């Protein structure tokens, strides 16, 4: 196999891993929405981070691998982890009242949030073309939420807040990645998430009615951790600019799962707005690739989808 064929094969494997990643995160969102019918979003978030942390201890034991705890900036690791926890809880709150496809369509504004957050935090500049794409994408969000016309608007604000928190989280993750490994960042994310949710969960605790509910709570951590593992593996095989467009295949999964599990059918407004958001995002990815930069990071899916 010549070198060109080898790199092509590596990229195809990376794309396959990215597609598997978004499928897992779609299942995670579906599970979280289902659990929302039986317990508070804070309890679901606690289950997600605690089970993921326990799983991480078995896979990447810090006792056997003390380098896992070494970080170039503990304050930034704590800050990014707190932002992610806030994003997770807000996203679960949004899923309580909104359909999967509606929440995901708003989450797809993530590249725009990252681009704007990169101005003060990374000193990057945004030209008029990307500003136009950002404005067009937010118009797509307005089409989805239709301010003043639907009762779902307050929940949409939760989703927008979750995406904003995740945008800043991703930019800080990009800064931290200069000194810390992905495994280190993932470990701190799960550790801090579990610690933050622990004192909150007694106030919202509802005993699971059935063992399947407990299994689903544990599954949220497994789905999240496995998704992040595949995401990191995919980025080792292919550039972020190649993988980024395949993030949008998650919309296919949430539409299917939303229909099968909740009997939800996307309305014409959601699909129109999602088309605007996805189109703007793809243009942003193309523009960043042309400029030799990337609005995405290895943590691009690690956020609101929890």
pLDDT score recorded for residue 124: 65
**195 phi and psi angles, rounded to 5 deg:** -65, -40
What distances in angstroms separate CA 177 from CA 27, 76, 287, one per listed residue?
27, 11, 23
Task: Report whether pLDDT(259) > 50.
Answer: yes
Token pair for 13: 């494997």
In the chain, domain spans? 12-291
- State residue 41's pLDDT score: 94
For residue 123, CA distances in Å to 1, 105, 292 come to 42, 28, 16
What mean pLDDT value characterizes the chain?
Answer: 82
Dihedral in degrees, nearest 10, Cα atoms 147, 33, 305, 120: 30
- Report how far residue 92's alpha carbon sits from residue 304's, in angstroms, rounded to the nearest whole number: 8
63-98 tens-digit pLDDT: 778 788 888 889 999 999 999 999 999 999 999 988
Q: What is the pLDDT of residues 4-58, one digit of tens each?
A: 777 788 888 888 898 898 899 999 999 999 999 999 999 999 999 999 999 888 8
Do residues 244 and 300 lie in contact, with contact meaning Cβ atoms separated by under 8 Å?
yes
**pLDDT greater than 50 at residue 109:** yes
């Amino acid at each position: 196999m010549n070198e060109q064929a080898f790199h092509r094969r590596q990229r195809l494997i990376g794309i396959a891993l990215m597609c598997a990643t978004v499928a897992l995160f779609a299942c995670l969102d579906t599970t979280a929405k289902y659990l929302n019918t039986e317990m508070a979003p804070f309890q679901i978030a606690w289950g997600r981070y605690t089970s993921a942390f326990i799983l991480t201890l078995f896979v990447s034991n810090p006792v056997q691998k003390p380098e896992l705890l070494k970080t170039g900036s503990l304050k930034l690791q704590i800050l990014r982890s707190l932002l992610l926890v806030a994003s997770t809880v807000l996203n679960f709150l949004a899923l309580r009242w909104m359909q999967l496809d509606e929440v995901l369509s708003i989450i797809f504004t993530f590249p725009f949030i990252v681009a704007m957050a990169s101005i003060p935090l990374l000193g990057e500049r945004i030209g008029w073309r990307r500003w136009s794409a950002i404005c067009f994408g937010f118009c797509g969000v307005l089409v989805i939420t239709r301010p003043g016309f639907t009762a779902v608007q307050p929940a949409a604000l939760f989703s927008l807040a979750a995406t904003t928190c995740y945008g800043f989280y991703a930019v800080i993750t990009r800064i931290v990645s200069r000194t810390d490994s992905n495994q280190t960042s993932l470990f701190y994310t799960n550790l801090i998430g579990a610690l933050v949710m622990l004192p909150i969960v007694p106030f919202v605790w509802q005993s699971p009615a059935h063992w399947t509910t407990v299994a689903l709570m544990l599954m949220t951590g497994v789905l999240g951790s496995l998704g992040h593992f595949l995401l990191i593996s995919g980025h080792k095989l292919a550039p972020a600019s190649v993988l980024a467009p395949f993030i949008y295949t998650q919309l296919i999964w949430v539409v299917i799962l939303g229909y099968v599990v909740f009997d939800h059918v996307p309305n014409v407004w959601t699909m129109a707005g999602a088309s605007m958001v996805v189109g703007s995002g793809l243009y942003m990815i193309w523009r960043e690739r042309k400029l030799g930069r990337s609005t995405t990071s290895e943590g691009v899916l690690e956020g609101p989808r929890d």
